[in-house]
Each structure stands twice: as structure tokens, then as C-alpha cells.
């Protein structure tokens, strides 16, 4: 019922994903994994909107997993993006559950068809990193089922993942790993899931309660600290004993299905050169389809150029992935300078800023501005490579600012005063303030594009490849425009409600909020430019059975170059005051077209497209709906109405209610018991709490916070405390439940020690 060490269930090896194989042995640090291909992250691949391409990536990963002896890959991650400040957004697909679910199905089906299991994560409501082990996601019933469980439901039913990973957070007052409603009532009884449920690493504290709720195995090994309580509980409870037997059966079933990938320790573990070469090229092709051209004022493509000026530290030291448990140890990373030179283009380079700090460097700025002035006189194209750096975002902590790093902002402002004929190459795991980048003549968003991102970028900006990516999330103008603002991470009221996380935006995350309440965004959901143009025509709608429809239309490439268009189907809901989004994505297709080529697209939608969750199930809501076909959310090309039969929507709120909801409004729709995790007092603490939570009441907790910081620094010396790996470790020690800190300390922290810390906090040593 517990991991065999850190990375085995029984005798099969599990490995972090989801954009590469991070296989390592027990006791190794995050950056001590075997070499593997670093594919583009989920934030990037989602912008391809290409199910087949996502499947090809999963196939490539599966081939490496088998060569490394890995049986189960921990991924994909399909948590909904509530805020662009979430430090782990680069691992997630979208703010929209339909898109996330479709891509996850493609990923899982392809990987498991190729003999490697997957672990769908993080189930559920895990949308922030701040206090991720102790925070309580407070989500009303409609939002929970329509938004935060919807992608999981589709993926479980359609792809049947080998395992599901229960998340760190509490969900409506109950730890996800102990949540019977989530793991048994919903996952198994309603959705029919028959696979194995594992905990996220260190998320299981009360093992008997977790098993009783429907979890099968805790990860990683808890050093025997949970054995006695499990055995004693099983002796006293026959139902728990039966649950144990069921869990053992599921573990054995998993091992039997995927154990053939096992490699004995004495055998060398490495990916063959042939596989690596194939996957490196695959990673490039994926990024070429995923990068999003956000602005092009006649700047791109840069054809027939002999020289170019590149400015930015990230041009020389590309950022290809995020920090944390998904960090891939790759043996090759394409470099922007070298990739331009491969195209016989002479590169002039100025660093301009340093990516390992936010502080300005006057010498580097001066050099960059001098080279910019020379380039302007020679009419030489200029590219600024910038965005969010490693120290800005990563697993285990949320971003502290929505802004472009200050040193880049200062340099870019000066550059634009000299010459606005600049192309901005954006690198980031999630959106940021693009006010300055949008003043450049061209803007290409790469997200975190994997080890071949630079090669893909060069082929895109020189016109070898036509950009075809479209945004899988909205890019707002500012942090305060985000619907979860004030109720996310460290934005809590008076900056102290870090553990009681009210999802006050309810069913309106992302574009559902901006579109419904007329909040302008810088770049909308589904948006992306091309070097060619497409026209839409001949919309046909035919009713199949009940409230299911078949929609067909034609797309023609009316430009001069080949390209790919992502057509999107939105359902515009009845124009009433009902508490419902203005419109929602219900279908999409990506189509390759040569100049003057025309193709017919067919998309089927079922009654779920017209449904809301009420009375304990999804029910079709009557009314006149508009089926819209567009190039983006704000670029609808074709539309037609249909009248749908169903029931009435039942809600105590109306759509003209201000969002985020007031506390009074939220109380009207939130039906779960309230907790007070942000205001815990002496006498209430357990080993589920963190050092940070107990520090105000315990000198011993304060002492161990100091020890933890020193330990993290020594463990990763000589890295900076701002390094993503170091910061994730530090935040884990300080903000993680102390049971997990004990179990994963390698025996350095004893079980009796953490009990002393809890006892001291409950006595309230500090008033």
C-alpha cells in the first residue's frame, strides 16, 4: 500500500512527466535523472490544438520510457488555469476543460497503446502552488462539475488512464486523498473508473482514511511510519480490510499490465541515439505547430536576410522548460544564435540583461543599445528574445508578479525609443504583461518550447514554416483583470487567507469571464495569426438524435502560402440573465491547406454541449442556442441558431451578478461546510499541518524553519536560493505537511520529532 522507495510501485518504475521522461533512482535529486528528450511543455503543445500531434509526442515519450525501464509516466496534468500567476501552469493545457480533455485523451491513448501507462493528474482542484499541501479549494458544485472535473471526466471515460493521481490540496474541506465523494462516488461509481489511484508525493498523511476513501497506494515510501496505524485500523474494521484487498488487486493488475518494461538495475539505462535523434526532430515539429504569432505588422517572415541582431540573454541560454519535478535532463538544447547561423545568416549578439536576476546591468544595456543603433543604420532586422526567466516561475510556488522582469522592461523601453522595428520572441510558461512586447512590430509566443524551440523559432520567423498555433488561454491586460484576482495564492484578503481558497469566480474562469462580462483582453482565447488567410463558408447543421447535432462547413486557403487553420466551434447560450457563460468551446479541428485548397470540416456535438450541472447531474437546458464557427473567440465567421428542448436552469444567482462574486453571493451557491484553515489555533494542529502554519504558536516550529532553509541551501549548493529547484525544496519543507517532510527526509527527521512540533504548537508556546 506504499511505494517501494521513491519511484516504484511493486517492482515497476514510475517516472515524472508530462513533457519528457524524468526517470531517476531512489535518493537522486531532481536534476540527477537519466538523459531524455525535453518536448515542449503542455502550455505550448496545447496551442497546437492538434490531437494527432499530441499523440505523436506521447508515442515518442513511450519509446524512451521503455528504453529506460519506465512503466508509468506521471502525466498529463489537466488542472484548469485559474490565474496566470500559478507557478505550475506550464504543465497544464488550458483554462478551458473541453480543450484540456480532448488533448489529454489523445496523449493517454497514444502512450498506453504503445505499452506505457499514464497517471492523470492532479485530481482535483489543484490550481495554485501557494500552500499547495494545506490549502482548501472551495468550489461550488456547478463549477466543480462543469469546469474543474469536466476534463477529468472525459479523459477517464474515453482514455481509461492506468492510474489517477490524487492531489495535495483539500477539496471542499476534505483532503483529496481522503475524499470519498471524489475518489469513490464520482471517479469510480459515476465515471466507472477501474484503474489505480495513487497519491501525489507526500500527499497521504492518514493512510487508513485514504484507503477507505478509494486511494490504492501512497507515494513515495513513508519509511514505515504509516504501517502500524494501517494494520491496527484494518484489524478493527472489516470494510477497510476489504478495501485493502481491492487495492492490492489493482496494484497487481497494474504491475501485470505494464511490468514488461522493467529493467534490472545491473542493466544500463539510456535512450538510444536513434530514438533521441528522432524525438529531437519531433520536438522541433511540435513546437513549430505550437508557437503563436500574436502580432505581425509586416515584420515576419524575415526572408532573404544576410545579417540579424539578437538581443537578450535567453537567445544565448534558452529557457526550454519549467523548474520542478518535471525538469528533464537533456543532452542537447538548440541555441538561437547557432540556429540562425545554420541558415547562413550572420548573427550579431548583445546580451542586454541577465536571466538569473531581475536587476539591471548598465554595461550590458549600453552594449545592446549601441548595437541597436548600428543595426538601425544598416537596416538590419532585430529580434529581442525575452519573457519569464527561471527565477520568475516554477513548481512549488506561485509567481509574485504579472510583469515582465524589470531588467528586460527597462532595456526594451530604451530600445523602442531608438527603433520600434523590432521582433519580440516571447518565452514563458504562462501569460505576463505584454504591453511593451506588443509595441514591437512582430510578436511570437513560444511558451516553453522544449529542447528544439530555437530551431523551430528560426524556421518560423524566416518563413520556412507558417505559424499555426492559437492561444489555449486568454492573455489579459493586467493582473487585476483576472477573475480570480484577490482570491488566488498570496492575493488573499489582507494577504493572509492562504489556506481557505474561495473560487469566487465560480463557473467563469478565463474567457468565460472576459467574454461574458465584457472585460477586454490583450489577446483572446483561440487567437493566433498566420502568413496566409482563410475563408469560411457553407455552414450546415443537421440534427442527429435527441439534442445531438452534426455541423459541417468549408475552409479555403485564400493566401499565397500553405498553412494550417484551427477552426473553433462555440455554443452561444440563450440570451437570458441566467447564471451561465455567454459562450463555451464545444468543438475544434486543425486543417492543413495549400493555397486555393478548400476542405469540408465536420464536427459532431452531443447534448452535453447544451447542459449544466444541477440536481446532481448534467441536464439539458431549454432555449435558443447559437452555433458559432470561428477563427478565434472574437473572430466568428459563421453562425446559425437551433432551438433545444430541455429543462429550466435553476440558480439563486443571475448573470448580471458582479464577478468575482461577493461573499454573500458565494455563500448562496457554496453548499459545503466552511473550514478555517487560515485561522487555525492551538489545539487544532496535526501532522497534516505545515511548519509555517504552526510557527506563530511554536518556537520549535520556528527553529525547524531555520534548519529547513539551511538544509535546502546545503543540499543544492552552490545554487542560489532563487533557483527553481532550491525554491521548490525550500517551500516544500516550510509549507508542506510535516508528515511528508519527515517521510521524505531520508531518516534525518524522526517521527517523534514532528509529533513534538505538533504538541508544542497545540500548547501555544507563542501567544
629: exposed, middle or buried (Cβ count in 10 Å: 0-12, 13-18, 19+): buried
Q: Strand, helix or coil at 455?
A: helix
Q: What are phi and psi of 416, to 5 degrees?
A: -70, -25
Burial letters for 88-106: b for 16+ Cβ neighbours within 10 Å, e otherwise? bbbbbbbbbbbbbbbbbbb
- Please tell me the distance from the alpha carbon of residue 91 to that of residue 112, in angstroms, as a whole number: 20
Q: Strand, helix or coil at 212?
A: helix
- Please tell me the distance from the alpha carbon of residue 668 to that of residue 645, in angstroms, as a whole number: 28
User: Dihedral angle at the C-alpha atoms of 515, 519, 525, 531, nearest 10 degrees?
Assistant: 120
- Please tell me the distance from the alpha carbon of residue 573 to that of residue 655, in angstroms, as a whole number: 12
Q: What are phi and psi of 18, to 5 degrees?
A: -100, 0
707: exposed, middle or buried (Cβ count in 10 Å: 0-12, 13-18, 19+): middle
Q: Which residues contact 637 (CB under 8 A, 6 or more apart)?
A: 535, 536, 629, 630, 631
Instruction: Give the chain's radius of gyration (CA, Å).
Output: 26
Q: Which ranges of 291-361 does DSSP label H, i.e. alpha helix?
A: 313-316, 336-342
Query: Of 211, 208, 129, nearest to 166 (Cα)?
Result: 211
Pairing mode of beta strands 136-138, 163-166: unpaired
User: Dihedral angle at the C-alpha atoms of 380, 383, 384, 387, nearest 10 degrees?
Assistant: 170
Q: Which ranges of 351-506 does DSSP label H, i.e. alpha helix?
A: 362-377, 406-418, 453-461
Query: Of 360, 287, 275, nearest to 318 (Cα)?
Result: 287
Give the E-state strand segments of 558-698 in sequence order: 563-572, 583-593, 598-605, 611-614, 617-620, 623-632, 635-644
Q: Given phi > 0 = left and psi -120 to 50 = alpha, else beta, which region is 665?
A: alpha
Reply yes or no on whether 200 is catalytic.
yes
Measuring CA to CA, how many Å separate 133 from each of 137, 148, 204, 556, 693?
Answer: 11, 18, 10, 50, 11
Give the cell for residue 18: 508530462
Query: Of 41, 52, 135, nearest to 692 (Cα)?
Result: 135
- Please tell me the distance from the alpha carbon of residue 9 to that of residue 696, in angstroms, as a whole number: 38
Q: 200, 206, 398, 500: which one is catalytic?
A: 200
The residues that are catalytic are 200
Amino acid at each position: 500500500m506504499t511505494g517501494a522507495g521513491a519511484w516504484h510501485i511493486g517492482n515497476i518504475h514510475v517516472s515524472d512527466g508530462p513533457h519528457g521522461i524524468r526517470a531517476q533512482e531512489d535518493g537522486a535529486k531532481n536534476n540527477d535523472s537519466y538523459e531524455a528528450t525535453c518536448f515542449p511543455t503542455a502550455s505550448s503543445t496545447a496551442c497546437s490544438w492538434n490531437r494527432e500531434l499530441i499523440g505523436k509526442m506521447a508515442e515518442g515519450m513511450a519509446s524512451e520510457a521503455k528504453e529506460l525501464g519506465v512503466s508509468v509516466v506521471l502525466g498529463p496534468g489537466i488542472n484548469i488555469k485559474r490565474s496566470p500567476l500559478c507557478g505550475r501552469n506550464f504543465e497544464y493545457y488550458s483554462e478551458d476543460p473541453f480543450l484540456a480533455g480532448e488533448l489529454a485523451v489523445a496523449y493517454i491513448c497514444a502512450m498506453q497503446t504503445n505499452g506505457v501507462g499514464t497517471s492523470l493528474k492532479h485530481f482535483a482542484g489543484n490550481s495554485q502552488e501557494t500552500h499547495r499541501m494545506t490549502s482548501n479549494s472551495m468550489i461550488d458544485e456547478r463549477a466543480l462539475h462543469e469546469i474543474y472535473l469536466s476534463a477529468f471526466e472525459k479523459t477517464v471515460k474515453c482514455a481509461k488512464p492506468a492510474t489517477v493521481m490524487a492531489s495535495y490540496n483539500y477539496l471542499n474541506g476534505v483532503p483529496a486523498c481522503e475524499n470519498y465523494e471524489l475518489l469513490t462516488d464520482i471517479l469510480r461509481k459515476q465515471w466507472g473508473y477501474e484503474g489505480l489511484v495513487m497519491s501525489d508525493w507526500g500527499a497521504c498523511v492518514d493512510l487508513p482514511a485514504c484507503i477507505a476513501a478509494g486511494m490504492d497506494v501512497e507515494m513515495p515510501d513513508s519509511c514505515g511510519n504509516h504501517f502500524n496505524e494501517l494494520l491496527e485500523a484494518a484489524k478493527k474494521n472489516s470494510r477497510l480490510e476489504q478495501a485493502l484487498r481491492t487495492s492490492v488487486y489493482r496494484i497487481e493488475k497494474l504491475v501485470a499490465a505494464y511490468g514488461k518494461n522493467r529493467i534490472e538495475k545491473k542493466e544500463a539505462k539510456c535512450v538510444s541515439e536513434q530514438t533521441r535523434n528522432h524525438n529531437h526532430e519531433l520536438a522541433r515539429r511540435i513546437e513549430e505547430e505550437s508557437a503563436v504569432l500574436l502580432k505581425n505588422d509586416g515584420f515576419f517572415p524575415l526572408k532573404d536576410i544576410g545579417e540579424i541582431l539578437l538581443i537578450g540573454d535567453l537567445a544565448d541560454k534558452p529557457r526550454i522548460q519549467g523548474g520542478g519535478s518535471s525538469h528533464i535532463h537533456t543532452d542537447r538544447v538548440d541555441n538561437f544564435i547557432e540556429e540562425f547561423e545554420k541558415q547562413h545568416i550572420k548573427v550579431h549578439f548583445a546580451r542586454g540583461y541577465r536571466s538569473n536576476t531581475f536587476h539591471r546591468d548598465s554595461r550590458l544595456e549600453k552594449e545592446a543599445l549601441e548595437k541597436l543603433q548600428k543595426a538601425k543604420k544598416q537596416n538590419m532586422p532585430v529580434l529581442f528574445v525575452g519573457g519569464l526567466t527561471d527565477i520568475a516561475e516554477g513548481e512549488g510556488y506561485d509567481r509574485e508578479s504579472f510583469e515582465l522582469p524589470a531588467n528586460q522592461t527597462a532595456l526594451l523601453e530604451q530600445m523602442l525609443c531608438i527603433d520600434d522595428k523590432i521582433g519580440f520572441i516571447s518565452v514563458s510558461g504562462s501569460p505576463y504583461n505584454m504591453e511593451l512586447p506588443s509595441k514591437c512590430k512582430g510578436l511570437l509566443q513560444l511558451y516553453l518550447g522544449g529542447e528544439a524551440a530555437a530551431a523551430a523559432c528560426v524556421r518560423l520567423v524566416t518563413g520556412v514554416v507558417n505559424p499555426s498555433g492559437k492561444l489555449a488561454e486568454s492573455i489579459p491586460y493586467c493582473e487585476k483583470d483576472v477573475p480570480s484576482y484577490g482570491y488566488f495564492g498570496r492575493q488573499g484578503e489582507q494577504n493572509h487567507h492562504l489556506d481557505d481558497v474561495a473560487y469566487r469566480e465560480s463557473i467563469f474562469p478565463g474567457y468565460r469571464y472576459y467574454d461574458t462580462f465584457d472585460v477586454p483582453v490583450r489577446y483572446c482565447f483561440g487567437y493566433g495569426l498566420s502568413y496566409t488567410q482563410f475563408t469560411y463558408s457553407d455552414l450546415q447543421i443537421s440534427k442527429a438524435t435527441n439534442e445531438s447535432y452534426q455541423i459541417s462547413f468549408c475552409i479555403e486557403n485564400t493566401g499565397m502560402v500553405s498553412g494550417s487553420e484551427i477552426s473553433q466551434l462555440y455554443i452561444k447560450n440563450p440570451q437570458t440573465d441566467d447564471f451561465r457563460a455567454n459562450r463555451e468551446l464545444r468543438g475544434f479541428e486543425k486543417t492543413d491547406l495549400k493555397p486555393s485548397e478548400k476542405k469540408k470540416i465536420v464536427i459532431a456535438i452531443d447534448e452535453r454541449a447544451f447542459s449544466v450541472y444541477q440536481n446532481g447531474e448534467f441536464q439539458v437546458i431549454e432555449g435558443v442556442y447559437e452555433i458559432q464557427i470561428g477563427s478565434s473567440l472574437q473572430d466568428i465567421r459563421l453562425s446559425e441558431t437551433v432551438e433545444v428542448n430541455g429543462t429550466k436552469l435553476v440558480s439563486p444567482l443571475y448573470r448580471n451578478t458582479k464577478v468575482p462574486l461577493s461573499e454573500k453571493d458565494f455563500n448562496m451557491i457554496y453548499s459545503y461546510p466552511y473550514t478555517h484553515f487560515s485561522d487555525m489555533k492551538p489545539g487544532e494542529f496535526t501532522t497534516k499541518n505545515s511548519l509555517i502554519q504552526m510557527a506563530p504558536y511554536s518556537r520549535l516550529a520556528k527553529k525547524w524553519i531555520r534548519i529547513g532553509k539551511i538544509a535546502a541551501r546545503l543540499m543544492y549548493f552552490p545554487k542560489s536560493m532563487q533557483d527553481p529547484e532550491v525554491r521548490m525544496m525550500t517551500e516544500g519543507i516550510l509549507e508542506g505537511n510535516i508528515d511528508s517532510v519527515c517521510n521524505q527526509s531520508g531518516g534525518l527527521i524522526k517521527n517523534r520529532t514532528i509529533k513534538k512540533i505538533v504538541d508544542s504548537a497545540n500548547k501555544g508556546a507563542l501567544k
